[in-house]
Structure 1
């Protein structure tokens, strides 16, 4: 049924399970939904399944958003038990973030595949630079800006996160540390955004991709019941269990290990992924 042999399918299954385990750890450690890992992994695995380039990236993004729903919920609950979540920030961001996600999902229905890659390259590249070279002295202020600035940034987080397939933790943590919030509080609070982004984002990608399956009837992996719109049910079923199981481990690591070493490791990974997508873009135009 799938355009891949048995060996390919076994490799894909193990790859998805491993990606799920790593996703859960990253969700806990960095307050991210894990999309920065899931999207590039799914992009490569869908390539093995010969998913057309026109829908390969949005399928990876939509699947990532669906996968990080349970991971984000468990990560947020674990951080809240540590008492480091600032719920006042989440209340200010809640509506703008959801509206931004809805806008991003609408864009996803009509946007070319290259747009998703360019957003990923830009945001992941900036995040990598901040993680690798950033200093505690890099601050805009010691207090958060007014509510209208907060709301505008929340909407931007929603749009970019829905186009990248991430839980928004990278963007919100970056913002809060620039305004003097401790990194552990920034990470813990950011975990709450994953819930606000992933649920409407996944529903939006189901809507955005629903009519596209008819354009590629020969590709089984994007047809129901294997997929709903731009959400691969195979990816969700294989990644979600391991990511939920390992999320609490990530939270324990976040409160136990030197943050700098973890930042360097994650920054290098993001830099590698950005370079991979950039190379893919350049190769397309050569």
Structure 2
């Protein structure tokens, strides 16, 4: 296992560097932290390296969360400079998102890799359908949720996101959009939510994976440091580019980009299971 020849090692390194670049653009463009791309790519990289099925998805999720700390910071900072981060919403939702992260990390650290894969694929598919087929501007204005719906939604965002290894944008953007929240403000705020999810989530996956057998080399628990180091540089460089694109392209196109990436990812993960 993990006996990789130099040619294959270079190919995998190039794949991870390219993944980081794409993830950075998507992080800035969609506010999703890039995990929606990083998790399936890492999953298939570990598959190519013959990493055990029992830990493959866990390491993909944990490593993805670690990368989001860096890409999410770059993306959130760029959005904040453009005035598209709602700090009041972050203060209101943040503690409950963090609570959901703790619960999701405990669950994710103890379920099988197949369960994590199916959770990832199912949620991504549902969100893609919602974003693709929701009427563009026909919905009646809806007020932002109050207690207790606010606490329930923000907890769900944290719980499911950390189990999927993604930033909060995959759930936060469509939820905020449902309440007729401006899409660019939703994307920018979701980038900041990604940090609230990624920091405790990374710590949790690292701790839960300590001492687990069959981990790939250079792993700290369920966080693979080799993958992290390969992805971070290009993702941090390209995140500001994604932010510029988010403020340049039409909002409807932005929604369709979001839905398309989620649909493709969901299909890939489902086929990997069955």
Please classify the TM superposition score into its range, dividing by the shorter chain length: over 0.9
Equivalent position SS for 1:238: helix
Whether the aligned pair in 1 keeps the contact of 2:3 and 2:49 (CA below 8 Å) is yes
Task: Report the more deviating stretch, 234-243 or 107-116.
Answer: 107-116
Whether the aligned pair in 1 keeps the contact of 2:96 and 2:155 (CA below 8 Å) is yes
Aligned to 1:258: 250
2:61 is the counterpart of 1:61 = yes
Aligned to 2:96: 96
TM-superposed deviation, 1:140: 7.3
CA distance in 2, matches of 1:130, 1:169: 14
2:226 is the counterpart of 1:234 = yes
Whether the aligned pair in 1 keeps the contact of 2:2 and 2:51 (CA below 8 Å) is no
Aligned to 1:170: 170
CA distance in 2, matches of 1:86, 1:268: 26
Whether the aligned pair in 2 keeps the contact of 1:92 and 1:147 (CA below 8 Å) is no
TM-score by length of 2: 0.95
Whether the aligned pair in 2 keeps the contact of 1:139 and 1:177 (CA below 8 Å) is no
TM-superposed deviation, 1:48: 1.1
| Pairwise CA RMSD | 1.6
Aligned to 1:143: 143
- The C-alpha deviation readout for 1:233-272, integer Å capped at 9, x for no partner, is 0111010111111111111000011233343344223212
Aligned to 2:76: 76
Equivalent position SS for 2:33: coil
Aligned to 2:198: 198
- The C-alpha deviation readout for 1:127-170, integer Å capped at 9, x for no partner, is 21123222234747521011321111111111101110001112
Equivalent position SS for 2:211: helix
Equivalent position SS for 1:135: coil
CA distance in 1, matches of 2:182, 2:257: 20
Whether the aligned pair in 2 keeps the contact of 1:24 and 1:245 (CA below 8 Å) is yes
Equivalent position SS for 1:194: helix
Aligned to 2:127: 127
Pairing partner for 1:246 from 227, 238, 260: 238
CA distance in 2, matches of 1:16, 1:106: 28
CA distance in 2, matches of 1:153, 1:127: 14
Q: How many residues align?
A: 274
Whether the aligned pair in 2 keeps the contact of 1:108 and 1:208 (CA below 8 Å) is no
CA distance in 1, matches of 2:15, 2:110: 30
Whether the aligned pair in 2 keeps the contact of 1:141 and 1:178 (CA below 8 Å) is no
Mapping 1:2-13, distance limit 5 Å: 2-13=2-13
CA distance in 2, matches of 1:238, 1:180: 38
TM-superposed deviation, 1:276: 1.9
TM-score by length of 1: 0.91
Q: 1:269 to 1:180 in 2, by over 3 A?
A: closer
Whether the aligned pair in 1 keeps the contact of 2:28 and 2:241 (CA below 8 Å) is yes
CA distance in 2, matches of 1:47, 1:124: 21
Aligned to 2:45: 45
Runs of 5+ consecutive residues of structure 1 not aligned to the other structure = none
Whether the aligned pair in 1 keeps the contact of 2:131 and 2:174 (CA below 8 Å) is no
